[in-house]
Structure formats: C-alpha cells, structure tokens
C-alpha cells in the first residue's frame, strides 16, 4: 500500500502577471523556471523523495519487470553487418555493458554481398573496434553518440558525443588505419557530420541560443577550428538547417526547413570548397525533397513535393514525385500523380532501381521501381501477410548493390532484417530479433478497430493483447498526435511484461499524426488542435463501450507533445481514466509559445500558431492549455516524468503543472513528479538504466490499472 503519512511537497506561490491581447493570466509557479535556484532544486528533490516514498512498495514489482526485460533480451548481441566500401560494419552489445560497440571486418572480395554469419560474443576475422561507447562514457552519468560518419575511403571516422544531455556535441576525428585520434576537436556542434569525397573536408552544424541548428561549417582536417568556414547560415528562426549527401555521394545537400516550407542547396562533393546553389527557391507552404538519380544515362533530381498542380489549381497535399534535370531543377515532369489515399513519404535512388516509401490505410508500404536503359520499369510493392505491420529501408549505403536491406516488425512480431534481391524478388531473412525465454508470438494477437470522433471521423485504433485476455481488462492507451508523426506498429520486449499480466495495449492514431496522410496532420494542428484531444477521448470511450476495458482499469500514456495530449485529456475527461502517465509533457504550451527566447519556440509557430501576434490563436491555446485549465475537481492518478537538462520540453512545465494540480485538485488520487537530475529529453542514457525507468513506469501502470497489486507483486 502507498504510505499515507508522508505529506506531499507544496510549492510556494509567487504571483506573476502575464498580459496579452487584453487578457491577464496570473502564474503562481513561474519561479520554478530557474534551475540554478537552490530553492527550485530543493523542491524538485522533495518531489522526487515523495515519489520514491509513495512508490516504495512497488520495488519488488519493479525488480521483477526489470529482470523480465533483461531475461528476454539477448544482452550479448550483434547487428546484421552492412557493407560499405571494402568493409562490413556492425554493432555489438555485451552483457553487463550499457552501450554498443561499433565494429567492422573486411569483405571477402568485390562480389561479396552476403553478410558474414555472426555469433554474439565471437569476433569476426579481421575485426576492428571503431568506437566503444562504454569506454567513451567512462566517468560520465550521461552519454549520447551523435555523429558516426565514415569517410568514403574508409580511413577516417568523424564522431561526436554529448556527456551532459543538452544535445551539444563535441566532434572528433579518428584515424582508422592507425587507431589514433587526430588533433581535430570541435566543441558545441549539433549531432551529425558529413564527409566530402576528398576525405579531407568534413561539414558540421552548430545551433543558436534556442538550440536551433542554424549554421553549416566546413572544417579542413589538420587546421584550427578558428579557420573553419561558415558555409551557410539561416537567420529566419522558423527554419532548421541540416547537411548530408545524396545516396550516390555525388552531391552534398544543405536542407533548410520549417514545419511547412523547405529549400535545398546542392554542391558537387568533389568540389567541397565551391559555392552551394539553390535547387528550388523556398516558397511559403511548399515542401520538397530531392534525390540524385541517373535515369537513362542522365543525371536527374527526383523531387517529392506538395506544390499546387498548375493544371488543376489544387495542392498536392499527399505529395507527388517528379523528375528534373540537375542543371534545370524547375523543369519538373510528374512521375507519380497525387492520390488522396496514399501519402508519398520517401524515395531512395540506387544505380539500378528506386525505392519508394509511402503510407496507405494507416500502414507503411515499400515498393521497388527498376531503372531501365530507357528510363523506368514496372513498380512492385512488397507484400506482407499481417494485418498490422511496419516496413522500411534499412542501412543501404552502397550506390551499386544487388540487394535492398529492409526492416519489418509488428506489435507481435519481433523486428526482422531482410535482404531483398531486386532482380529476382527473393526476400531473405537475415535476422529476427531474439526474444529469450518462452516467448511464442502465436500466443498474442493484434487487430485494428475504428473509433468514431465527435465530428464523425473514423479514428484508427491498434489493439494488442495476449490471446484469451478477458473482456473488461486493464488497458494502457497510448497517443501522440503532433508533427505528422505516425505511431507505427512495433514490437517491444518490455511490453510483454504488461501483456502477460493481462493488460491490453492500445494505440490511438489521433489526428495531428500522419497515419492517414497529410490531411490527418492538418486537421490536428494549430486551430484544429483540439481534434487530437477529442479523438483520444473518443478512442477511450470506444474501448469502454466495446467492453475491452472500463474507466477504473484504463490508463492513458503519452510523452512530449503526447504529454500535452495527456494534460488536455486529464482536464477534458478525467472520469474515463484511472491513471495518466505523462513523460516530459508539454503541459504549459502557451507560456512557451509566447516566449521567442525559449528553445524551439519560433519554429513551433507553424505547428501551433503564433499567440503573440494572433489573438485568435492566443484564445484557442488558452482554452486547451493543460496548466491554465487545471480545476478544482477530481483527477485520475498522475505520474509525470521529466529531465532537468531537457532542452525541448523544459522540466518547468511538468513541475508547474504538478504544483498547480496539487494546490487545486480535489480527491485523493496520487499525484507524482519524478525528475531525472542529469538526463535530457530522451531520459536516462544507458540501456540498463532505460530498462529500470520502464520498469518504474510499468509497475505504476500495473498497479494503477488494477492489473497487479503490490501485495502480490513479488510473485
């Protein structure tokens, strides 16, 4: 049982008035924003102590779940080797070690396209260790690998590390022929590094004060960082900058993108000190991507775009695929027309074929399109037999290769790695994610159901359970619903600990995500954002009305922008849920989006609207902001988890939310805040630490839903 003797921390009130568009909001807890204030740290630590005390009785259950995850995971494992140049590249994990070890071994000969058989724990002939994350992380509480980029000739490695959790990385160069580190060291970079073909120049990015990647730099090996050349700078705070190469490696590409507009710049990689030139000048509301292909012997750009069709006057909402000469990118010829039921997402070009990624009926699809001497052959979609699945390209670094590496998974199928032979259509299974113990996928089932939203829209629901799970079962309902991000089917070893205890797992594919195409996103953002919240409520009601679960057994789960969803749902329909789990939740959106000095605010205006300038946006956001709409009423049990170094959703948002809930809500449902005092947006960094974090959350979910009581948790 939870301890009732411990008094929860009560944050002091320091009223601060915020006035916009004639409306004044009194914020009592904004003082919690200063993480260098000892009083703020003391409050967060007091909340941590309270959470620890209130969940202490769950320790045996947490330990049981952790051991289940560990016992099902092949801790000493290897990825399937990927060929690049004269080497096979792969990663190892070793039992007892937190981080992966990056390795390579030589190919047998130029025609060697069959990955070597790997045995976990056994070195391959000629194996080289390129980077050991366990060595790099020594002496640090947090570790994240950013860039990991091999030069085209295979002799140099550019890699970057973050040992704080603030997503600012130090870039280093390792000579792979000698194993020695080069003198080059560049602090304060964004993750990522791109080599030029001459392997003496490397391109990287830096971020501004708001953590926005805004500048591309060129570094020449062996020179001082002070001599690095600023290649590109984007002053408009709505745009992020990135750099990479085409798959052919012939061109370097700089991409500049806001939420609704993109612009690409190109330069021949063999001329890294040259001037980048624009592909298609940016136009507000037009997004595009470009890939280099050689079609019938000529260099072409394959351009995915959502521009207006000049003939019909209609915007290609779900994108079209066009081609254009490299020297005249505006001379577009459409290859694949717009479809309302298919969202084109990606195109990869190889020497002899194209690979298309798209989305239909809320599922990802993959098709191979051979290239012929005359141009294009017959497009073939890869078919799979499960009702719900996710498929996508794997690592395919070579321009000329006879196979396509791809990944496949579902809610009940552990992830698989295949090689697809383009010439024959043969699909060869290279590896299935090992799940140790007595796991049998036939004991589980997944299905698609459709909830009906307030406006009549059908909302897809994915439902997963162990076969034989009775009706009215404890259920965890997950949602996200922002940025056109799709929550695709994926297997989880950890989730088995819920399913095997009789829980149902469900995903609400609400609007604001991208599952059903671009319109799904457009109808769940800015001034239609509330659809995201009401869709989730409709999915919860569907599960209850269908007899899958009941309010006293239903727990909602979401993180980051999905945490905004959790906070909104807590206000809108608290009676439908026994508990709400909110990870790094964006629960004070109006305060954040009103402050251009905060990380990422300006770029977010395309997603949420600009409440600084637009009174309609201000009033709309004010009407759903979880923090500003906390009321004196009963709420479900709430567990909020955050990280003090998070640069995306600041810890202060859940801290303020919990403080206000504690001072305002009625009833005695538990209210807990857990702050990681060293991690960033992704939480703790090592795999064992991540498993312990999952075990902490799952134990709380199991108890809150009634699936597992603490008294029996040890068993």
Q: Could you tell me if 331 and 360 lie in one domain?
A: yes
Is the Cβ–Cβ distance between 369 and 376 less than 8 Å?
Answer: yes
Beta-carbon contacts of 291 under 8 Å, excluding residues fewer than 6 positions away, are 246, 247, 301, 302, 347, 348, 349
Q: Quick one: DSSP state of residue 712?
A: G
Beta-carbon contacts of 192 under 8 Å, excluding residues fewer than 6 positions away, are 146, 147, 149, 160, 204, 205, 242, 243, 244
- Residue 688's pLDDT is 85
- Residue 555's pLDDT is 98
Overall average pLDDT of the 485-507 stretch: 97
Specify the CATH number for the domain of residue 430. Answer: 2.130.10.120
Q: Could you tell me if 347 and 464 lie in one domain?
A: no
Q: Checking phi first, is residue 371 left (phi over 0); if not, alpha (psi -120 to 50) or beta?
A: beta
Residue 335 has pLDDT above 50, yes or no: yes
pTM (2 d.p.):
0.90
Q: b vs e for 199-228, b when ≥16 Cβ sit within 10 Å of the residue's Cβ?
A: bebbbbbbbeebbbbbbbbbbbbeeeeeeb
Rg (CA), the chain: 26
Q: Domain for residue 292, yes or no?
A: no
Torsion of CA 569, 573, 579, 581, to 10 degrees: 0
Specify the CATH number for the domain of residue 640. Answer: 3.40.50.1820
CB count in 10 Å sphere of residue 229: 14
* Percentage of the residues of the chain whose pLDDT score is greater than 90: 87
Q: For residue range 46-97, what is the model confidence (pLDDT) as tens digits?
A: 999 999 999 999 999 999 999 999 999 988 788 999 999 999 999 998 888 8
Q: For residue range 264-291, what is the model confidence (pLDDT) as tens digits?
A: 999 999 999 999 999 999 999 999 999 9
- Residue 120's pLDDT is 83
Q: For residue range 566-586, what is the model confidence (pLDDT) as tens digits?
A: 999 999 999 999 999 999 999
Could you write out the three-class secondary structure of 201-246? EEEEEEECCCCCEEEEEEEECCCCHHHCEEEEECCCCCCEEEEEEC
Q: Quick one: DSSP state of residue 554?
A: E
Which of 435, 461, 482 marks a domain boundary?
Answer: 435
Q: Domain for residue 1, yes or no?
A: no
Residue 500 has pLDDT above 90, yes or no: yes
Residue 468 has pLDDT above 80, yes or no: yes
Q: H-helix or E-strand containing 263?
A: strand 262-268
Q: Could you tell me if 412 and 449 lie in one domain?
A: no
- Residue 708's pLDDT is 86
CB count in 10 Å sphere of residue 678: 14
- Residue 504's pLDDT is 98
Q: Domain for residue 123, yes or no?
A: no
Could you report how far apart the first and last alpha carbons of the chain are, in Å?
A: 16
- Residue 715's pLDDT is 36
Beta-carbon contacts of 92 under 8 Å, excluding residues fewer than 6 positions away, are 76, 77, 78, 79, 100, 101, 103, 120
Q: Domain for residue 665, yes or no?
A: yes
Strands (E), 314-457: 320-325, 333-336, 342-349, 353-360, 363-370, 380-381, 390-393, 403-409, 416-421, 427-432, 444-452
Q: Could you tell me if 457 and 429 lie in one domain?
A: no
**Catalytic positions, please?**
560, 646, 681
Residue 423 has pLDDT above 50, yes or no: yes
Could you write out the three-class secondary structure of 5-25? CCCCCCCCCCCEEEEECCEEE
Based on the structure, what is the number of domains in the chain? 2
Lowest mean pLDDT among 107-116, 153-162, 684-693: 684-693
Q: Could you tell me if 636 and 662 lie in one domain?
A: yes
Measured distance CA(209)–CA(225) in Å, rounded: 20
- Residue 166's pLDDT is 81
Measured distance CA(510)–CA(675) in Å, rounded: 28
What is the band of 682 on the pLDDT scale with cuts at 50, 70, 90? low
Q: For residue range 588-625, what is the model confidence (pLDDT) as tens digits?
A: 999 999 998 877 788 889 999 999 999 999 999 999 99
Q: Could you tell me if 333 and 360 lie in one domain?
A: yes
- Residue 165's pLDDT is 81
Measured distance CA(177)–CA(342) in Å, rounded: 47
Q: Could you tell me if 367 and 409 lie in one domain?
A: yes
The three-state secondary structure class of 611 is coil
What is the band of 680 on the pLDDT scale with cuts at 50, 70, 90? low
Q: Could you tell me if 425 and 447 lie in one domain?
A: no
Q: Domain for residue 60, yes or no?
A: yes
Q: Could you tell me if 370 and 467 lie in one domain?
A: no
Q: Could you tell me if 516 and 400 lie in one domain?
A: no
Which of 435, 461, 480 marks a domain boundary?
Answer: 435
Q: For residue range 633-663, what is the model confidence (pLDDT) as tens digits?
A: 999 999 999 998 876 668 999 999 999 999 9
Q: Domain for residue 191, yes or no?
A: no
Q: For residue range 284-331, what is the model confidence (pLDDT) as tens digits?
A: 999 999 999 999 999 999 999 999 988 788 999 999 999 999 999 999
Q: Could you tell me if 602 and 653 lie in one domain?
A: yes
> Which token pair is 511?
């609007």
Range of the structural domain that residue 576 is part of: 16-71+440-710
Overall average pLDDT of the 216-225 stretch: 98
Which of 417, 435, 453 marks a domain boundary?
Answer: 435
Measured distance CA(345)–CA(521) in Å, rounded: 14
Q: Could you tell me if 477 and 408 lie in one domain?
A: no
- Average pLDDT of the chain is 94
- Residue 533's pLDDT is 98
Q: Domain for residue 273, yes or no?
A: no
Q: Domain for residue 595, yes or no?
A: yes
The three-state secondary structure class of 596 is coil
Half-sphere exposure of 305 (CA within 13 A, CB side): 32
Residue 3 has pLDDT above 70, yes or no: no
Is the Cβ–Cβ distance between 406 and 394 less than 8 Å?
Answer: yes
Residue 684 has pLDDT above 80, yes or no: no
Closest CA to 627 of 597, 586, 678, 596: 586
What is the band of 148 on the pLDDT scale with cuts at 50, 70, 90? very high
């Amino acid at each position: 049982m939870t301890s009732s003797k411990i008094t929860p921390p009560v944050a002091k009130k320091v009223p601060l008035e915020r006035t916009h568009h004639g409306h004044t909001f009194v914020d009592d807890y904004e003082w919690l924003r200063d993480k260098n204030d000892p009083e703020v740290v003391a409050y967060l630590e007091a909340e941590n102590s309270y959470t620890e005390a209130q969940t202490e009785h769950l320790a045996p259950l947490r330990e049981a779940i952790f051991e289940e995850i560990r016992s099902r995971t092949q801790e000493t494992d290897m990825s399937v080797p990927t060929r690049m140049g004269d080497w096979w590249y792969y990663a190892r994990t070793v039992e007892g070690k937190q981080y992966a070890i990056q390795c390579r071994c030589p190919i047998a000969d130029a025609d060697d396209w069959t990955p070597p058989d790997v045995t976990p724990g056994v070195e391959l002939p000629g194996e080289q260790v390129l980077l050991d994350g366990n060595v790099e992380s020594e002496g640090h509480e947090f570790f994240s690998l950013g860039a990991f980029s091999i030069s085209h000739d295979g002799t140099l490695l550019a890699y970057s590390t973050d040992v704080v959790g603030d997503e600012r990385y130090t870039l280093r160069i390792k000579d792979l022929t000698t194993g020695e580190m080069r003198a080059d060291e560049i602090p304060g970079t964004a993750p990522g590094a791109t080599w030029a073909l001459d392997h003496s120049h490397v391109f990287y990015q830096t971020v501004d004060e708001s953590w926005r990647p805004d500048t591309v730099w060129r570094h020449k090996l062996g020179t001082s960082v002070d001599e690095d050349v600023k290649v590109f700078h984007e002053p408009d705070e709505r745009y992020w900058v990135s750099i990479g190469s085409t798959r052919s490696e012939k061109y370097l590409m700089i991409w500049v993108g806001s939420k609704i507009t993109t612009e690409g710049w190109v330069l021949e990689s063999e001329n890294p000190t040259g001037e980048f030139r624009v592909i298609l000048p940016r136009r507000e509301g037009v997004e595009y991507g470009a890939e280099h292909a050689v079609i019938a012997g000529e260099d072409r750009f394959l351009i995915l775009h959502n521009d207006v069709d000049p003939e019909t006057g209609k915007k290609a909402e779900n994108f079209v695929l066009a081609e254009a000469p490299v020297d005249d990118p505006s001379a577009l010829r459409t290859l694949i027309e717009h479809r309302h039921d298919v969202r084109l997402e990606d195109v990869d070009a190889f020497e002899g074929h194209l690979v298309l990624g798209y989305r239909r009926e809320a599922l990802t699809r993959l098709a191979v399109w051979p290239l012929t001497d005359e141009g294009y052959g017959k497009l073939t979609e890869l078919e799979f037999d499960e009702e719900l699945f996710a498929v996508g390209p794997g690592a395919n670094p070579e321009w000329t290769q006879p196979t396509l590496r791809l990944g496949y998974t579902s809610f009940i199928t552990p992830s698989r790695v295949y090689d697809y032979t383009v010439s024959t259509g043969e699909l060869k299974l290279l590896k299935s994610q090992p799940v140790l113990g007595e796991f049998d996928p036939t004991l589980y089932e997944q299905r698609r159901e459709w909830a009906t939203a307030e406006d009549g829209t059908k909302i897809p629901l994915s439902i997963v359970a162990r076969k034989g799970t009775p009706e009215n079962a404890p259920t965890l309902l997950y949602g996200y619903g922002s940025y056109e991000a799709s929550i695709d089917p994926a297997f989880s070893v950890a989730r088995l600990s819920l399913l095997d205890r009789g829980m149902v797992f469900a995903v609400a594919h609400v609007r604001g995500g991208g599952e059903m195409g671009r319109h799904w996103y457009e109808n769940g953002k800015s001034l239609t954002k509330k659809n995201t919240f009401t869709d989730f409520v409709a999915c919860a009601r569907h599960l209850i009305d269908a007899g899958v679960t009941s309010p006293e057994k239903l727990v909602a789960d979401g993180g980051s922008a999905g945490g905004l969803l959790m906070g909104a749902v807590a206000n809108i329909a608290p009676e439908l849920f026994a508990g709400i789990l909110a990870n790094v939740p964006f629960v004070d959106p109006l305060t954040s989006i009103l402050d251009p000095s905060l990380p990422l605010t300006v770029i977010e205006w395309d997603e949420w609207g600009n409440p600084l300038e637009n009174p309609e946006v201000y009033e709309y956001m004010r009407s759903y902001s979880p923090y500003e709409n906390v009321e004196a009423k009963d709420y479900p049990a709430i567990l909020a988890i955050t990280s003090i170094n998070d640069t995306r959703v600041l810890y202060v948002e859940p801290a303020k939310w919990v403080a206000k809930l504690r001072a305002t809500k009625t009833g005695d449902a538990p209210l807990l805040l857990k702050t990681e005092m060293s991690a960033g947006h992704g939480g703790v960094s090592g795999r064992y630490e991540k498993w312990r974090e999952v075990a902490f959350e799952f134990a709380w979910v199991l108890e809150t839903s009634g699936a597992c009581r603490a008294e029996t948790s040890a068993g």
